[in-house]
Structure 1
Amino acid sequence: MTLTSTTVMEKERVWIPGHTFTHGTTGLLVDMKRAASLMNQFQRVAYVHQVQDGHHPHLTVQETINYYLKLSDTDWAISELLKLFDLTAEARMKVKKLSETKRNTLSFIRAFCASGDWVVIEEPFHRIELEGRYAVEQILRGMQRQGKSILLLSTNLEDLLPVSDSIYRLDERGIHKMEFKDDTAPLNEEPTQLKVNKIQVKHREKTLLFNPPEVDYIESIDGTVYINVAGIAYTSSFTLTELEARLQHYGFYRCHRSYIVNLQKVRELVSWTKNSYSIKLDVEKTTLVPISRAKLSLLKELLGIS
């Protein structure tokens, strides 16, 4: 039971790669434009839940649930679903009078009752306040118990972490599985030495691990080091000097006192004046990184240009 995306080309480059998602609940960190394209692809083979999905505002919550139960021909009891969706107290309330969080939670009834093996959900916690997030998590687990596989599309990593079995990131270079370090190791264990083939960063309260080729560039701003991957800046606990030593064998170059650049991402040297240059990176959003005049000659040598 799999769900496969079709390769999409844009300007002679792969914009969305073909990829097969397997059984379970998979999170996909993706921008809005690519998410819309994927949802359009999957309409034919899965139930697709979009953030703008709404209801008949003049029906009550109970009537709405009953309506979709009849359409799906399932044997769920309305009382069970009201409890699962945390809407028991609002059962006789008209949909138009619900809070935004409750209304958006109710919108999952279509996906919950839909037939088929796969459900694709856009932004699972869109405009849902903290008190409603637990209900959404329970709804997703209820879908899993039905044997459904779920693909969650979001621009926010934090929305994917608590509900996904595995998480991937989609950008202009393809689909990459994201790896996470377990921060719950006993305090009395000896710390392990950082492996050079992984770059450790912090995102909110999570520790992420990237492969060096995924990194576009590294910068230091007001004493904080940021590692830039696919348009997102992640904070690092290492200094630029430490990262320079760890990454130089992977084709990274300290081009400025505040910047380290992945030489594989260099697209162009931009000349502003006779002695002033910047590096243009081959990434989705135009990015210019400054280069010190003293570093220019060696950079040209490393890139093999005159």
Structure 2
Amino acid sequence: MNETWKQRLLESGEHLIHIECDNQGSDQIRDCLLAVSPLGIVRRQEAFYEDMKTAEYLRFFASLFRSALPVQSVMETMRLSALARTPIEKLDYSQRRRLAIAREILHQAPVLWIEEPLLNLDESSRAVILAWLEQAVSTKIITTTVSLKLLYLLPGVGYTLDQGSLVKLENEADVFQPHACGKIPVKLEDKILVFDPQEIDYAESVGGKCRIVVHGSEFITPSTMEELEDRLAAYGFFRCHRSYLVNMEKVKELIRWTRNSYGLKLKTQPDVDIPLSKGRVDDLKRLWNL
């Protein structure tokens, strides 16, 4: 295992660690953890004994793990008691995710890795898992997710995997503190988050609302596009279109789609095309000294 990863993930005092990364990065983290520690695993797609009933399945694994935990108590934690006699084949995706976590709670491994703990879950299942995480103190839990927005909902410490390095993310912050005055505030449910300008890929205005995009995740900001332009111009942002403001450090190339239509490709999001107004092409070329 990368020594830095080992120190951050296993040797730190943090017991809830969440990492934003792509699927390949998630697999790398899982494999590295498997190499150095007994590991409980909840994958994004789980295989189950479909003909087993929920309680039967958990009792089977409790016996296999020689777990000291009462199955009924774990079922209550994951709100599965009402589904005790339901065949697994009849459970929906969210219920299956709760079942997989319940199984690994019974496992009682010293480290538990969960891939996508909140993605595509219904609201009630998200609430159950978040409540459990708030109370889970006896096991080190490490999660991975492709969604930065979902990561910020999770209690604990957040990181992003950037070119093989784990970079710590700011959690909730007071945007009125002096150290945060150069940062951009956004609201995510009941949290106020702030982002360093260099974390931002681009900003766009859609339907009267302005949002910033960070690592592919969108966040609504109370600022207008004009206010963002004023604040971000000093950090290398360019107003490429009436509705778009782009971080030029993230731009990879200028694309000419048609005679009068242009776009910008980003290093960080190759599938995203940022429109460039025809009237701003000369401004961009001057910016690039072309």
TM-score (norm 2): 0.77
Q: Hey, what does 2:216 align to over in structure 1?
A: 231
Pick closer, same or farther for the CA change 1:36–1:294 going to 2, 3 Å. same
CA distance in 2, matches of 1:226, 1:209: 13
User: 2:30 matched to which residue of 1?
Assistant: 39
Q: Structure 2: state its 5+ residue gaps.
A: none
- Partner residue in 1 for 2:57: 64
Q: Distance in 2 between matches of 1:217 and 1:162?
A: 22
Superposition deviation, residue 149 in structure 1: 0.6
- From the superposition, tell whether residues 193 and 293 of structure 1 become closer, same or farther in structure 2 (CA, over 3 Å): farther
Shift of 1:285: 1.9
Shift of 1:239: 1.8
Task: Give the root-mean-square deviation of aligned CA atoms.
Answer: 3.7
Cα separation, 2, equivalents of 1:149 and 1:138: 16
Structure 1 contact 231–285 (Cα < 8 Å) conserved = no
1:254 to 239, 255, 263: 239
- Between Structure 1 and Structure 2, which shows a larger proportion of helix residues? 2
- Asked whether the equivalents of residues 85 and 135 of structure 1 are also in contact (C-alpha less than 8 Å), the reply is yes
AA matched with 1:149: K
CA deviation profile, 1:75-108 (whole Å, cap 9, x unmatched): 22334334333344544x2533763344442222
d(CA) in 2 for partners of 1:278 and 1:97? 47
1:24 aligns with 2:15: yes
Q: Quick one: distance in 1 between partners of 2:120 and 2:277?
A: 45
**% identical aligned pairs:** 27
2:45 aligns with 52
Q: Structure 1 residue 263: deviation in Å?
A: 2.0
Asked if the contact 2:54/2:87 (under 8 Å) is kept, the reply is yes
CA contact (8 A) 1:178 1:208 kept: no
> What does 1:108-257 correspond to in 2, within 5 Å?
108-125=101-118, 128-137=121-130, 139-140=132-133, 144-145=136-137, 147-157=138-148, 159-170=150-161, 175-181=166-172, 195-204=180-189, 206-257=191-242
Separation in structure 2 between the aligned mates of residue 127 and residue 272 of structure 1, nearest angstrom = 35
Q: 1:211 deviation in Å?
A: 0.9
Aligned length: 284
Structure number with larger C-alpha Rg = 1
| Structure 1 unaligned spans of 5+ | 8-16, 186-190
Q: CA deviation at 1:118?
A: 1.1
Deviations 1:28-75 (A, max 9, x none): 233344334433443433222113334434444443333222222332
The amino acid that maps onto 1:48 is: I
CA–CA separation in structure 1 for the residues paired with 2:90 and 2:260: 63
SS at match of 1:218: strand
